[in-house]
C-alpha cells in the first residue's frame, strides 16, 4: 500500500470524511484534494530522505506521536494539528512560497479554491506523517522478523506515488509543474 492509499483507507474512509466535514467539502472533493496534495508532500519527503534526512525523519516519526492524527480523527480539527502541520510543511517543502504553489497547483487540478487548499495543506501534512508513522512501525516489525531488510527501500516504495521504483521522478515532476507557472 502506498502513502495515498493508506490515508484514503484510514478508518475505512473515516479520515477523509472527517477532513471533508472540517473544511465544508463533500467526500469526493476531499478525496480529490488529498489525492492532489499527497504526491507533492510525498515528493518533498522523498527529496529530504534521499538527501540524507532519513535519520531525522525516523527520529520525527519515532518521537512525534504522529499516529494520533489517524488514530484520533477528532484531532484533525484542532489548532494544535494545524500548528504541527505547518512545522511539518516547513521541513518537507522548505518555505511558505512552495506551500502556496502546491495549493495553487492542487486548485487547478481539483477545481477547489486555493484558500481552502492552503488551510487544508497542514492538516494533510499531519495525516501524511501519521500514515508514515504507522507504516514505519509496521516496516520495522517486518524488518526485525525477517532479520534483514532495507528501511530506506521500504520507505521509498511507500513514498513512490506512481510505483515506478523511483521517487525522484515524482519529485521532479511536481517541482517542474510548480516552477513552470
pLDDT tens readout for residues 140-170: 445 445 444 455 555 555 555 555 555 444 4
- pLDDT value of position 160: 55
pLDDT in the model for residue 137: 58
* Residue 159 backbone zone (phi > 0: left; psi -120 to 50: alpha; other: beta): alpha
Question: Which phi and psi angles does 17 have, rounded to 5°?
Answer: -60, -40
Q: How far is CA 159 from CA 41, 83, 133, 140, 152, in A?
A: 9, 24, 13, 16, 10
Least confident residue range of 49-53, 109-113, 171-175: 171-175
Predicted structure pTM score: 0.76
Amino acid at each position: 500500500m502506498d502513502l495515498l492509499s493508506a490515508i484514503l483507507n484510514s478508518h475505512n474512509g473515516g479520515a477523509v470524511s472527517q477532513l471533508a466535514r472540517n473544511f465544508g467539502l463533500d467526500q469526493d472533493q476531499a478525496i480529490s484534494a488529498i489525492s492532489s496534495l499527497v504526491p507533492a508532500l510525498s515528493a518533498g519527503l522523498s527529496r529530504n530522505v534521499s538527501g540524507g534526512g532519513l535519520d531525522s525523519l525516523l527520529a520525527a516519526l519515532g518521537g512525534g506521536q504522529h499516529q494520533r492524527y489517524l488514530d484520533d480523527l477528532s484531532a484533525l480539527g484542532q489548532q494544535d494539528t494545524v500548528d504541527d502541520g505547518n512545522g511539518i510543511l516547513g521541513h518537507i517543502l522548505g518555505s511558505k512560497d512552495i506551500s502556496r504553489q502546491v495549493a495553487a497547483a492542487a486548485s487547478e487540478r481539483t477545481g477547489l479554491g486555493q484558500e481552502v487548499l492552503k488551510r487544508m495543506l497542514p492538516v494533510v501534512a499531519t495525516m501524511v506523517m501519521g500514515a508514515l508513522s504507522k507504516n514505519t512501525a509496521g516496516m520495522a516489525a517486518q524488518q526485525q522478523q525477517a532479520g534483514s531488510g532495507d528501511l530506506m527501500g521500504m520507505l521509498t516504495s511507500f513514498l513512490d506515488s506512481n510505483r515506478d521504483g523511483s521517487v525522484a521522478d515524482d519529485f521532479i515532476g511536481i517541482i517542474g509543474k510548480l516552477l513552470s507557472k
